Amino acid sequence: MSDIDVLELLGLAQATATEAAALAADMRSGGVQVQKTKSNDLDIVTQADTAVEALIRKRLATARPADGVLGEEGGEADGTSGITWVIDPIDGTVNYLYGSPSYAVSIAATTKAANGRYVSLAGCVHAPVLGTEYTSAAGQAARRNGQELHVNEGVPLHQALVSTGIPYDLEARAQVLADFASLAPRIRDLRLVGSAALDVCGVAEGRTDAHVGRRLPIWDYAAAALIATQAGSVVRGARGGPPSLELLLAADTHLADALEPLITDGGIKE
Ligand code: IPD
Ligand code: CA
Ligand code: CA
């Protein structure tokens, strides 16, 4: 797996996400219905989630047949190249259902570390209705529509604008409410967008100062975490570890250090 060309991977991620995002937007204009539910009744899948992931898998398999794929809707298929594509066909499906513009296709090219964790090499988050494409690759700048991105640095806790998300899991919602209660008196304000990928990209571009994510699987952030990291954010989990179901915390390092003691206590365990 030597000589990985991360820019080639990024180009494929961009081209595929552009086409996939156009399909999602096109399907939305024809109306949308819930096709099925997953972990519980709140965790919905629309026909577009399925169709968009199928398109992405087809394009990636044609371009790079030896790569593996992990997609939210279609599961994991091993490859032989050492590259695994991690896909969320529509991040923000509930927004999509309601006609909100805050949804995005997320595609990341990753490699697996010895400990089994996915390490992102290139990623693209494309929100067709917002008209925004976020990109980055290992060693490269983070960009929105080609413009370089930087996180907000040196923001004190009391001036921090912090986004979070609402998990489908009801037990995890209790943790988010605890986060709200702990954070609200100490920060500038909280934001709920409804797309973890766009939330993490929001930190990258300074639209918010930090994101606190709970119960996020890898496809929610494989692309966005790379984009935020390359924009100068730390993206980490609880107790200095990597992001996990328990916690994903993205912010400039000083703000992350200030936020972490307020939010990790009693967190969701893997
Ligand atoms: C969801 C969104 C949401 C987050 C949920 C995710 P989906 O992804 O990212 O913001 O709070 O935890 O599951 O289901 O729309 O792909
Ligand atoms: Ca998602
Ligand atoms: Ca999704």
Protein residues with CB under 6 Å of any ligand 1 atom: 88, 91-93, 165-167, 194-196, 215-216, 220
Q: Which ligand is nearest to the CA of 40?
A: 1
Nearest CA to ligand 1 atom 11: 165
| pLDDT score for 77 | 95
Angle between helices 253-263 and 170-183 (to 10 degrees): 120
Give the residue, out of 72, 86, 220, with the most ligand 1 atoms within 8 A of its beta carbon, to mutate for a pocket test: 220
pLDDT, tens digit, for every residue of 144-154? 999 999 999 99
Q: Distance, CA 211 to ligand 1 centroid (Å)?
A: 13
Q: Which atom of ligand 1 is nearest to the CA of 72?
A: 16
SS3 content of the chain, % helix, strand, coil (to 5): 35, 25, 35
Q: Which ligand is nearest to the CA of 53?
A: 3
**Cβ within 8 Å of residue 128, ≥6 positions away:** 21, 22, 24, 25, 104, 105
**Cβ within 8 Å of residue 251, ≥6 positions away:** 151, 160, 203, 209, 210, 211, 233, 234, 259
DSSP states of 236-256: E-GGG----SS-EEEE-HHHH
| pLDDT score for 261 | 92
Q: And the tokens for 34? A: 């819930």
| pLDDT score for 12 | 98
Q: Distance, CA 194 to ligand 2 centroid (Å)?
A: 9
Q: Which ligand is nearest to the CA of 176?
A: 1
Q: Distance, CA 105 to ligand 3 centroid (Å)?
A: 8
Q: Distance, CA 173 to ligand 2 centroid (Å)?
A: 16
Q: Which ligand is nearest to the CA of 212?
A: 1
| pLDDT score for 269 | 52
For the whole model, what pTM was predicted? Answer: 0.96
| pLDDT score for 191 | 97
Residue-level length of the chain: 270
Instruction: Write out the residues surrounding ion ligand 3, Cβ under 5 A.
Output: 72, 88, 90
Q: Distance, CA 2 to ligand 2 centroid (Å)?
A: 31
Residues of the chain with pLDDT under 50: 267
Sorted by where each begins, the domain ranges of the chain are: 6-148, 157-266
Task: Write the class of the CATH domain 6-148.
Answer: alpha beta
pLDDT, tens digit, for every residue of 179-211? 999 999 999 999 999 999 999 999 999 999 999
- The topology under which CATH files domain 157-266 is D-Maltodextrin-Binding Protein; domain 2 (3.40.190)
